[in-house]
Amino acid sequence: MISRNQLSRMLSKKVRQAFERYEAKTRPARVRSVLNDIRPEMCKRLQTAMDELALVNITVRQVSEESSAPACLLPFLLSYGRYVYGRWRRLKPGALTAELEITDRIWQQRGLEPLLLARVRERVLTALKRLRAPV
């Protein structure tokens, strides 16, 4: 059986080692170096995401105008379009389809028309596929 004194020393050693690892990992010079290395790629990914999001917003606005949807629905349609975009970025096509079917039901229960949701979804996905298509 381990005595209290031995247990205390073992725990304090583990705590001390964990603290030393944390301290080494968070040293300002190391953090600055890591951020400087990854910053160009982070900026490139951010620019791509912002371009895609702007495309989603423009597409949703176009669908809203074409279908003569009431202006009060625009924030909800934009939110739905952004949700579609977020799932498109994270899910594979099969899982995306299933997820969006469920999402459509949820948004229909919130009062949006199924045809309008389908138009927004299809136009957003088509625009995003065109944007990412190889040239």
Which helix (H) or strand (E) is 117 found in, with range?
helix 114-132
β strands within the chain, DSSP E: none
Contacts of 91 (CB under 8 A, 6+ apart): 99
| Dihedral angle computed from the Cα positions of residues 86, 129, 50 and 54, in that order, rounded to the nearest 10 degrees | -100
Residue recorded with tokens 């944390």 = 22
Residue 135's pLDDT is 46
Residues 61-120 have pLDDT tens digits of: 999 999 988 999 999 999 999 999 999 999 998 899 999 999 999 999 998 999 999 999
Q: Is the pLDDT of residue 27 over 50?
A: yes
State pTM to two decimals: 0.74
Residue 3 or 44, more confident: 44
pLDDT grade for 134, boundaries at 50, 70 and 90: low
Residue 13's pLDDT is 79
Residue 14's pLDDT is 82
